[in-house]
Amino acid sequence: MLKITPVVYMHLSHILWLRFFGHDFTIIICHTLEIVNGGGACYNTPMSQTISTQAIVLRAADYGEADRMLTLLSPEHGKISAKVRGCRKAGAKLAAAAQVFQSGEYFFAQKSGRLTLAQCLPGEGYYGLRQSLPGLTTAAYFCNLCEEAALPGQSDPELYNLLREGLAALCQPEAPPNSVRGRFLMRFLVHQGYAPRLDFCASCHSPAEITLPRYTGYAWDPQAGGLICYDCIKKQPGIAGRMRLSADDVTTLRDLQYKPLNDQAELLPNIIDALQAFLHAHMDRRFHSLEMLSALSSFSTVAHSTRRSTSSST
Ligand SMILES: [Zn+2]
């Protein structure tokens, strides 16, 4: 009878080295291929050394002389980290696959517990984003948010589809990037489980009846979770100084939860500010992309004022 004895068991890779006594060779059986990704998440791909998945590149960082490290978002595997060898050389076939915002079917090989990009069938590259600096910066902000929200190895097709929809909306020249950002923020908050309370007062839980004649505007309190009614504003003087929302503002916010991101209606700045403040209250993370968006917005306001004063003086 053939006797099989396990000689070494390697925990991380689940590779069993089995030696057949009586024979002069050693074989390796990959019982389960465990691919360790970046922060330590694992994908189990039985009897295989590659995985393939749809993905979008969230981040790309040059590495070594000609390589690049990618962070990608996949519907099935969440956040993925992978190396692309030689993609910065002239004529490299994986050069396009290693660009931020590129999507497609990505094929990864595993070696020593790390992923290396082996092949890519390119999909949408969202090249329209390069037409406008605000659009490009907003797209980078979307990628930053998704990278923060996604977990390695955890399936999240809703987040993946939200990012796809957001990048596609930003490619449309008629869709103002700030308005796309406002819609994205609302959908992102809902996805993360931080949907603002828009139908009830976040303090006393009375229904938010914005159509009543006595309606004088709700306060917006991100820390409390949404709207604060007039009665609660009177009882808590500290709330009186908070941002106020009109009945139209509340209606707009309610509609944002269901509207597509490529809706061409322009959102008022106070709606975007309200959602941005809400996100900051629940995700205490600052991004350079958002700082740059703020700088671009300030520059745009100053340039607009300068143009108006110049035209009125001539
Ligand atoms: Zn109240």
pTM of the full structure:
0.79
79 and 180 fall within a common domain = no
Residue 44 inside a domain? The answer is no
114 and 183 fall within a common domain = no
Quick one: pLDDT at residue 64? Answer: 93
Give distance in angstroms: CA of 289 to centre of ligand 1: 36
Residue 83 inside a domain? The answer is yes
Give distance in angstroms: CA of 188 to centre of ligand 1: 26
Torsion angle of the four alpha carbons 91, 95, 97, 99, in this order, in degrees rounded to the nearest 10: -150
Residue 140 inside a domain? The answer is no
Quick one: pLDDT at residue 4? Answer: 38
Mean pLDDT per 10-residue interval, the chain, length 314 residues: 36 35 35 34 50 96 96 97 96 96 96 90 95 95 97 96 98 92 97 94 87 71 90 78 84 92 91 95 90 83 56 55
111 and 25 fall within a common domain = no
Quick one: pLDDT at residue 215? Answer: 61
Quick one: pLDDT at residue 75? Answer: 98
The 3-class secondary structure across 85-142, one letter per residue, is CCCCCCCCCCCHHHCCCCEEEEEEEEECCEEEEEEEEECCCCHHHHHCHHHHHHHHHH
| Interval 210-241: pLDDT, tens | 766 556 678 899 999 999 988 888 887 776 66
Give distance in angstroms: CA of 232 to centre of ligand 1: 4
Domain count, the chain: 3
Quick one: pLDDT at residue 47? Answer: 44
| Interval 4-42: pLDDT, tens | 333 333 333 333 333 333 333 333 333 333 333 333 333
Dihedral sign from CA coordinates of 256, 260, 263, 266:
positive
Give distance in angstroms: CA of 133 to centre of ligand 1: 42
Give distance in angstroms: CA of 234 to centre of ligand 1: 9
Task: With beta carbons less than 8 A apart as the criterion, state whether 247 and 210 touch.
Answer: yes
Quick one: pLDDT at residue 35? Answer: 34
Residue 36 inside a domain? The answer is no
Quick one: pLDDT at residue 308? Answer: 55
For 182, the domain range is 174-284
Give distance in angstroms: CA of 237 to centre of ligand 1: 13
Quick one: pLDDT at residue 247? Answer: 85
27 and 55 fall within a common domain = no
268 and 203 fall within a common domain = yes
110 and 199 fall within a common domain = no
